[in-house]
A and B are shown apart, each in its own frame.
Chain A
Amino acid sequence: MLNIKNLHASVDGVKILKGIDLEINAGEVHAIMGPNGSGKSTLASVIAGNEDFEVTEGDILFEKANISELSPEERAHKGIFLSFQYPIEIPGVSVTNFIKTSINQVRKSRGQKDMPANEMLKKIREKSALLDMDRKFLSRSLNEGFSGGEKKRNEIFQMAMLEPKLAILDETDSGLDIDALRIVSDGVNRLRNKGNATLVITHYQRLLDYVVPDVVHVLVDGKIVKTGGKELAKELEERGYDWLKEERAEMT
């Protein structure tokens, strides 16, 4: 589904990604772990199409098509979703109206008519229940005054509504208490199916106890230095990242 080849990216002339190769197939969950500043969030942003980052080399293929030049909205229309590490507060637009606009814009890009109001309402009810969200929550301004946990739940709610093919969860676990983490992970797990894929980006192993990855990659200094199964996450939890940094230093 996603095929990244030799991806280099920089921001304001500073090189952050230095040759990433990554292949994710439908039905798989991949985790990317790594120390702070290793480029994890940059990778997420680059896949989602953030124009602040410049791709200097390499390609991103999504369902065999090169998407490197596409705008964020075009990527969303193709079925890529990014759950933000720090969701943006947008006062003045309610969660409901925002998601309606989002869904109908995606439908429009696919030549479909607006979703009928009753169908939309039903879907909103169903998906908000999945994430144990209060009805009042849906009429509040998007992310404004939300707690950390509420913001993350709202991200996964949007994901549930949009049903992307590829979901990238950028540090979705940071700032979550254990109950919120469980709700969010449950939501993510229930949305998994054979046709979609998930890329979990995290600093900690904790989330991976709930959303169990098929493949774990370790990103250090803009490169994937190690790839393994879910047990790699446990090893990192115990040993930290320093031994990998040393290995990487020796390699270069």
Chain B
Amino acid sequence: MELKEKLMSSYLAFEEQVDMENDIHSERNKAIKFFESTGFPTKRMEAWKYTSLNSILKEDYSIFPKKEDAIDYKDIKKYLIHDIDTYTIVFIDGIYSSHLSRTTHDKLDACLMSSALNKSKYKSIMDKYFNKIVPEESMSSLNTAFAKEGAYIRIPKNVSAEKPIQILNFSTGNESALMIQPRNLIIAEDGSHVQIIERHQSLTDNPVLTNSVTEVYVGQNAEVDYYKIQNDKTTSSLIDNTFIKQERDSTCSLHTFSLGGKITRNNLRFYQHGQNCNSILKGVTILEGKQHVDHNTLVHHIEPNCESHQDYKGIFSEKSVGVFNGSILVDRLAQKTNAFQSNNNILLDDGATCNSKPQLEIFADDVKCSHGCTIGQLNNEALYYLRTRGIPKKEARALLMFAFANKVLGSVKIPEIKKRITKQIALKLEVELGFNL
């Protein structure tokens, strides 16, 4: 059976598990109808021109995995930022694991979407926020249709979360192939501050397809600092759909570290709904083998006096493929917008590919927008310079790549993440650094 048909018939079974009287369910019904009419994205669609999902859609995925408790902390520890105190929300095969998680309702909510969707005390919040900024698109609609579990985070007005919150999705390989669709909702109310780390990780080589949707609401003068660590097995694929709505005077920065996975697609959209917003989108992508990463970004400048900064760097070796499709949309009202975008790529092998497509649509007449993309090899002059200092060619090449990728890490605010990613990058590039990280 085709995956689409399987999903459509699974939807009927899914309905039996959820409260069909709940208002949320009408959203699900609408979404499944939309998905039914469009199906999975294909390369014929402009936004998917360089990424084909065909190779991952042919697996016979389980849609409803069995509950599995056999995972211990020691199995997952290395995938956590464990050297600092954090709240953690852990899902195993899409199912919440209470014994691996550390949630809270004290001062802030860091807990479960299933509670938020079902408990009446959250109803007014769900009415206000759930599925309000998710566009009707094939993959995000599919997620909405099956929306049931994920992380629910709410930081009340003027609260600063004193520790970062980690959202972790593990898959065990208990199913021969697994599809999971986490649904996250993050609300940072006015004047609040929160740091979030998200990771999807398979523990075996069985195929996994994750189609996640995250809605992030950043209130007035609030600050959200978000890190996505994508360093999964080459048998796992991820379609990440993240939608961020910012109110006035807010800041949201989102770093995406794409270091592994079969196919990774990041649909990342920022909507600036107030003046003086700042949106920061950064990415480091380092791939080898036949891995494929597609960054599809949009910053929509709706109000005047806002800023956005996009900076994505990629290093591609062997037969890996990188795609960057970065859009900046400036509405007629959004005067004095400062929007910057840069995408730099290094191709190390003849078989590696990179498609970079900046897309600027500007309807205001008093704005500063710039974009630049480069695809190239390492700078030979720089290589020579390092070699005259006694650094051998191989190490010099690695050091230059490291430096290139490292540039993006300057804005990482959690030192443990910076250290970990730096190490990971050094490891991937086989850099023998003469200094400790």
| Interface residues of A, Cβ cutoff 8 Å to B | 48-52, 71-73, 75-77, 81-82, 84, 87-88, 90-93, 96-98, 100-106, 109, 114, 117, 141, 158, 162
Contact = CB atoms under 8 A, between A and B. Distances in A.
Contacts of A73: 387-388, 390-393, 396
A52 B384 CA distance: 10
A76 B388 contact: yes
A11 B390 CA distance: 24
B389 interface: yes
Given A73-B392, A76-B389, A90-B385, 15 more contacts: A49-B388, A51-B384, A52-B384, A71-B393, A72-B384, A77-B390, A90-B382, A90-B400, A91-B407, A92-B402, A97-B433, A98-B389, A102-B434, A103-B390, A103-B434
B395 interface: yes
Contact of B391 (A49, A82, A105): A105
A98 to B, nearest CB: 8
Nearest to B391: A105
Given A87-B385, A92-B402, A76 B434 contact: no
Contacts of B436: 117
Contact of B388 (A72, A98, A100): A72
Interface in B379-437: 379, 381-382, 384-393, 395-396, 399-400, 402-407, 433-436
Interface in B337-392: 379, 381-382, 384-392
A98 B395 CA distance: 12
Contact of B406 (A77, A93, A162): A93
Nearest to A88: B385
B390 A162 contact: yes
A105 B384 contact: no
Contact of B385 (A77, A84, A97): A84
Given A101-B434, A105-B395, A88 B381 contact: yes
B399 A101 contact: yes
A92 B433 CA distance: 13
Contact of B389 (A92, A114, A162): A162
25 contacts: A48-B388, A49-B388, A71-B387, A71-B392, A72-B384, A73-B391, A76-B387, A76-B389, A82-B388, A84-B385, A88-B381, A88-B382, A90-B403, A91-B404, A92-B405, A93-B399, A96-B435, A97-B433, A101-B433, A103-B390, A103-B434, A105-B389, A105-B390, A105-B434, A162-B390
A101 B395 CA distance: 9
Nearest to B437: A97
A129 B386 CA distance: 23
Interface centre among A73, A98, A141 (most CB of B within 10 A): A73
Contacts of A117: 436
A106 B387 CA distance: 11
Interface centre among A51, A72, A82 (most CB of B within 10 A): A72
B436 to A, nearest CB: 8
Contacts of A82: 388
B435 to A, nearest CB: 4
B410 to A, nearest CB: 9
B390 A102 contact: yes
State the main secondary structure of chain B at its contact with A: helix
A11 B402 CA distance: 31
B382 A105 contact: no
Contacts of A158: 389
A188 B405 CA distance: 35
Contacts of B433: 97, 101
B390 A91 contact: no
A124 B433 CA distance: 18
A86 to B, nearest CB: 9
A109 B403 contact: no
A41 to B, nearest CB: 13
B168 to A, nearest CB: 29
Closest 10 CB pairs of A and B: A92-B403, A101-B434, A76-B390, A104-B434, A72-B387, A106-B390, A92-B406, A102-B389, A88-B385, A93-B403
Contacts of B386: 90, 102
Interface centre among A93, A98, A109 (most CB of B within 10 A): A93
Contacts of A84: 385, 388
Contacts of A114: 434
Contacts of A88: 379, 381-382, 385
Given A76-B389, A92-B402, A101-B399, A50 B384 contact: yes
A158 B390 CA distance: 11
B391 A102 contact: yes
A162 B384 CA distance: 17
A190 B385 CA distance: 24
A73 B402 CA distance: 19
Contacts of B379: 88
Interface centre among A48, A76, A82, A141 (most CB of B within 10 A): A76
A49 B406 CA distance: 29
Interface string B250-284: 00000000000000000000000000000000000
A104 B435 CA distance: 9
Nearest to B408: A92
Contacts of B389: 76, 98, 102, 105, 158, 162
A195 B382 CA distance: 30
Contacts of B390: 73, 76-77, 102-103, 105-106, 109, 162
Contacts of B399: 93, 101
